[in-house]
Structure 1
Amino acid sequence: MEKNTEKPSSNKLMYVIGAVALLVIAVLLYLFISNKQQYQAVVEEMTEEKIILTEEFQSLALDYDSLHSNNDTLNLQLEQEREKITHLIEEIKTIKATNAKKIREYKKELSTLRGVMRNFVVQIDSLNRRNEELVQENIQYRKEHDKITQSYKELEKVKEKLDKKVEIASQLETRNMELTGLNSRGNDTKKIRSISKIRMCCTIEENVTATVGMKTVYIRILRPDEALLMTSADNLFEYEGEEINFSASREFEYGGEDVYVCVFYPVADGELLKGVYVVDVFVDGFNIGTGSFELK
């Protein structure tokens, strides 16, 4: 009887122990599953954080790419920062999402780089403003330069006009021109076969604006057939920018007052023709008088 009583008690104990064990296993399994789910959620959260961090670095890289400057030193610094960001992006891709320490370090670096970029933006804005000021100053300078140049050109035109007026005003003029043929005795004659010289005499008038001093008067005598009478093809003087031949010349002193001058042309045998001769008088490169006479 005693043997039967002890056996049920032993079985009951075994049931209790088994139940406790099952309960412990169930609790442990629940805790394991719960912790695993929490861990998985943490990993997913950190993975998302890593992705966001990578995107922020990439966005920062694009912001740096948009920065441009005309300053070589500043451009070099920008390029160094771009390379640094590219290197950090590659590093972030290789670390584990669960490496919280590294993630924090990269976040801190991201904040620092953003601060550096803001400083670059301020510098570039300052340089751009200064460049714009220089551009405006250059435009203003060009306007002033163009204005001065235009004024100079206008003054040159005025000067040219004044010089022309002075030149015209200083041009000498003649009056009382006398043209005649002379025989060998120095007497006036209009007979061709008797003429040995042609004489041109005139009064060069007073002109207070003309230069004074020694001058040369040139004459050109055209025959009725418009051939120029001349003693040598080397007898040249300047008129209207060209060298032209003259028939005869003579030096005289001009003092600004009326001066009477005569010029003689020696006639060669058979050189003259019957008809009207035209004589032009030149001084200082100007034609100062024209006359004519007839030979028979």
Structure 2
Amino acid sequence: MLSLPMAFFIIFRYIPMGYIIIAFKKYSIIKSPLEMEWAGNHGFEYFIKAFSNRDFLYAVRNTLGLNLLDLVIGFPAPIILALLLNELAFKRFKRFTQTIVYMPHFLSWVIISGLALQLFAPSTGLVNVMLNKMGFESIPFLNDSGHWVVTYILLGIWQSVGWNTIIYLAAIAGINPELYEASAVDGASRLRNIWHITLPGLRPTIIVLLVISLGHILSSDFDRPYALSNTLVTDVSNVISIFVYNYGIRGLQFSLSTAVGLFQSVVCIIFLFGANALAKKSGERGIW
């Protein structure tokens, strides 16, 4: 049963790592990576070219900014939702609500962007049409950089919060119920139970997921920013994945895009090791 997953990771994850060398060589479609000529500046020509590119620097800034906002605003959201669902007394309503909130996870960002356009378009969107009828001005959800960032973050939370909540609900289910029974005997309120029992029980799970999230601080999905982006907000929507697409696939600069991808991976690994070390210093196990 393990042969197929192992074959998948070996073929599509480990073997392609050998092509990282393209970042240090002049790419040629008719030569293998070992036969390609080394790039200038001791092989670091494309790294220098990337950091000299203003679009790349903007992409790094946008990627860090959006990921930090996702982390600060989006990371606590599933924890809060899991706590709220755990306190629901009606199990059927709890299951129904949980099903509804994690269903957006299965929607592609192409569909979500279409829904966002129908809801938040400046003149024809349902939200702005209702605001105009009530006497308010239209809000440029998708046409203004500041409003676009807020819309981007909130749509990301809406899409992923239910799915991530499942992890925290599973962790809550593993907390010893005798702790709640003892607190009930002592007359503790629900808020006291959450603060002194549920959150400490969730702490190991929160630390592990936080370490993993910090390990992706410079990585970026392609479909989410690309589907929601437009020419009016490119100053905040162009992230590293879109930069790699424009310069690597459309611009056929494969060595440059490989160098950018390698830089991105190295930074993510540094953040991952740093976050894991901090987790261990705080008394948690970390991820290894």
TM-score range, shorter chain: under 0.3
Structure ranking higher in helix proportion: 2
Structure ranking higher in strand proportion: 1
Higher Rg of the two aligned structures: 1
TM-score by length of 1: 0.18
Bigger relative contact order (CA 8 A; separation at least 6): 2
TM-score by length of 2: 0.19
